[in-house]
Structure 1
Amino acid sequence: MLLVYDETLEAQAALKRCSQLSLALSAHVDVISVVDAITASATCAGMLSDLACSSMEAHARHALDVAVGHLVNLGVTAHGFVKFGRPIDVIPLHVAAFNADIVVIGHRVQTGLARWWGERPIHLDLAERLRGSAIVAVTAPLA
């Protein structure tokens, strides 16, 4: 099982669902946290500083430690990986390398203009790329 985690509310909901699934299935969990400097650099016209990249990596490592620690405290066997690149590229590579049958990822429901102008949800692109793997897209509960 693979959990994509970044400490957002949606990722926290995905962590909760992943922990339930892994305990029910007695499944090992790989947790990845993605440092997407490519997209960040594109949004700031290529002016992303080394400090910003280091900060992004530190945040990813912290998020990874939180998720792996949570799973291990529940008795789940979990390993963490920091990946560099666009999520749509690195997630399928990890799935192929480690044979993950289930991918758990948080999903933010877009509203208003974001539905029209925002990016396509990643789980839709993953569904096209990950043949044979189940994708569990988890939304955060309403407050």
Structure 2
Amino acid sequence: MHPACIDYWKRWQSECKRPVTKGRRLYIGRRDAGTRLLVNEQEVLKLLEGLGFEPIDCSTMGFLEQVDAFAEAECIVSIAGAALTNMIFAPSKIPIVCMAPETMPALFFWDLAVHNRQYFHMMYGRCVDINNRSIFADFQIKLPEFKTILKQYLN
């Protein structure tokens, strides 16, 4: 996304003057997508919910609901997917942890984070099916490594 597009949406967002409450910790999954699933998502969710994260499903939310949710974020954890592009509505200087299979170069999200002045960490997980090495492969992340990354951003 071109930086001018991000600037446009930031201006639009500020002109809307929608009331927001800061401090939400968001988890964006892909259960409805059918591909690029995090196979140990239940363990990840248990850990995140213990840290005050709330799972949101952008596919069931209207546009302004998505804008508001991301604008209120203090931290975002997400599986790489279209819903994460809403990070352009999130504040600057917040941490974003993006998870993807080891076969998916998700540089697009890093680029958005740089233009939006956010702290971005890409976490790659192991593909669970050796016969599917595409960007759509289901994957698993290592929980100890994930905990370490979260501690780094939440303390």
Q: What is the TM-score with the length of structure 1 in the denominator?
A: 0.36
Q: What is the TM-score with the length of structure 2 in the denominator?
A: 0.34
Say which structure is richer in helix.
Answer: 1
